[in-house]
Amino acid sequence: MDLNDLKLFKLATTRMDWAAQRQKVLSQNIANADTPNYRPKDLKPVNFKDELHGSMVAAVPVARTNPNHLKGTIPEQERFRAPGQPKTFEEAPDGNQVVVEEQMQKVGDTRSEYNTAVTLMQAQMKMLRIALKGSAG
């Protein structure tokens, strides 16, 4: 049995993937806090209603046109990337719009959301273990 077949695991995994990608984007924003004309980026929030709908639609695998092609050569889509740039309230004289305090707050919020998804996954695993032990004995 694949754990991703269970909706709760799929949703928690999606949330964890989103949080990991967001941490990467936020760390790039912080790293470029002194880069002239840099605009901070962010990811669009995960909409679980859309994720539930998307989980019901079967994924279409990519067809390889030549057996000599490697299956890993197709870039992974970043499905959480937000179109456009978020509005910022400050701009440095050099045109940089990164507010480090704002980015650090987002980092903390993202860590909290990741930890919540991990806790949900652990609780689901615990329930599965209890169910399996009960059926074995």
User: For residue range 77-93, what is the model confidence (pLDDT) as tens digits?
Assistant: 555 666 555 566 678 88
pLDDT (tens digit per residue) in 31-62: 999 999 999 999 988 876 666 665 544 555 66
The Cβ of residue 19 has, within 10 Å, a number of other Cβ atoms equal to 23
* pTM value surpassing 0.85: no
Half-sphere exposure of 113 (CA within 13 A, CB side): 20
pLDDT (tens digit per residue) in 90-131: 788 888 889 899 999 999 999 999 999 999 899 988 988 888
- What lies within 8 Å, CB to CB, of 32 at 6+ separation is 38, 96, 98
pLDDT (average), residues 53-78: 60
